[in-house]
């Protein structure tokens, strides 16, 4: 049944493969809070129980047996070991779901966003056709450098916090070695991968995201769910973009808070003139690298009624 679906829910694998499945989901930015075991524990193979115990001990994931939760049977010794640690767990809402409740959508210009969507569709289609030779070359380089699959996805919060799959070319090797030990990110990235990321060529598959409506050509860069604070949910009042105001005014070398402040400022001041300025500045960033524009950051802080000194640090992964 692996690869098929039951009531529209995909079958990812067996319990014995749970560690590998969790690692694969982690790569795609999917956070797992708990695992509910529907089968009775006395019907599980010993290796399955060992795998569940290993997951429980090595992570913050809660293992729950459905039959025990419903009061149909008591805990076995193995199941008791899996639930020996008490945790505070709130399963009702994920971080992505909570974002929708705190986003102020009144500051957006619906007419402008509608016209921008039309521009995005035609622009993305034109770029896909024009850049096809570049995409094929990058795909070949990625295949030779890190192998297959060429493209990976990560779950990100999009417009109004709604989750979508963001696509990128792979520029890093496997996240775990043959003994399932995590490999540090700096050891997974090759020189070729760093060049591809610096030139923003790994973002080319996101033209598909733009075409289907998950993203815009211009807008705040979508963050991982764990990095998207509800304090800065205002940046989600517009579609996320391939490039944006924060990317051309500091990019990876400004603090996460200043980056979000720039994004919120853009969401409140978005216009075709500003988008054109971002497009021209993006070309400059690709060739010269990230540089902090203190004037733009200070203006955003002032316009939003914020104070504080500009901080330079690495931002969360994009």
Segment 249-272, tens digit of pLDDT:
998 888 888 999 999 999 999 999
Report in angstroms the alpha-carbon separations of 97 from 216, 288, 316. 21, 38, 20
Lookup: tokens for 150: 């060429």
What mean pLDDT comes out for the span 61-88? 63
Report pLDDT digits (tens) over 117-161.
Answer: 999 999 999 999 999 999 999 999 999 998 888 998 988 999 988
Q: In angstroms, how far is CA 194 from the centroid of its own chain?
A: 19
Contact 176, 183 (CB under 8 A): yes
d(CA 123, CA 205): 14
DSSP character string of 271-288: -HHHHHHHHHHHHHHHHH
Contact 269, 277 (CB under 8 A): no
Give me the half-sphere count of Cα atoms (radius 13 Å) on the Cβ side of residue 52.
Answer: 26
Q: What is the mean pLDDT of the chain?
A: 82
Report pLDDT digits (tens) over 229-244.
Answer: 888 888 999 999 999 9
Domains of the chain, by residue range, sit at 5-85, 96-303
Whether pLDDT at 308 is above 60: no
Report pLDDT digits (tens) over 158-201.
Answer: 998 898 999 999 988 777 677 767 777 777 888 898 999 888 89
d(CA 300, CA 123): 28
With 0-12 / 13-18 / 19 or more C-beta atoms within 10 angstroms meaning exposed / middle / buried, residue 279 is middle
pLDDT of residue 92: 38
């Amino acid at each position: 049944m692996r690869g098929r679906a039951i009531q529209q829910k995909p079958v990812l694998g067996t319990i014995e493969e749970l560690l590998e499945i969790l690692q694969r989901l982690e790569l795609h930015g999917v956070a797992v809070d708990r695992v509910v075991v529907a089968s009775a524990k006395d019907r599980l193979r010993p290796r399955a129980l060992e795998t569940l115990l290993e997951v429980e001990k090595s992570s913050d994931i809660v293992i729950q047996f459905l039959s025990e939760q419903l009061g149909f049977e008591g805990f076995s010794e193995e199941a008791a070991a899996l639930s020996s640690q008490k945790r505070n767990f709130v399963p009702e809402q994920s971080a992505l779901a909570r974002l929708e409740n705190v986003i102020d959508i009144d500051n957006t210009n619906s007419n402008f966003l509608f016209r921008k969507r039309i521009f995005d569709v035609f622009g993305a289609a034109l770029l896909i056709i024009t850049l096809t030779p570049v995409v094929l070359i990058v795909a070949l380089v990625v295949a030779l450098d890190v192998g297959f699959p060429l493209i990976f996805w990560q779950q990100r919060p999009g417009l109004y916090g709604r989750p979508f799959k963001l696509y990128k070319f792979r520029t890093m090797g496997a996240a775990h070695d043959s003994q399932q030990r995590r490999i540090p990110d700096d050891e997974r990235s090759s020189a070729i991968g760093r060049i591809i990321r610096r030139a923003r060529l790994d973002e080319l598959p996101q033209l598909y995201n733009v075409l289907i409506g998950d993203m815009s050509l211009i807008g705040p860069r979508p963050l991982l769910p764990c990095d998207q604070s509800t304090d800065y949910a205002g940046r989600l009042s517009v579609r996320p973009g391939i490039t944006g105001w924060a990317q051309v005014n500091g990019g990876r070398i400004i603090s996460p808070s200043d980056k979000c402040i720039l994004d919120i400022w853009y969401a409140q001041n978005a216009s075709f003139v500003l988008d054109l300025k971002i497009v021209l500045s993006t070309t400059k960033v690709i060739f010269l690298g990230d540089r902090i524009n203190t004037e733009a950051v200070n203006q955003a802080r002032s316009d939003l009624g914020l104070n504080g000194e500009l901080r330079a640090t690495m931002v969360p992964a994009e």
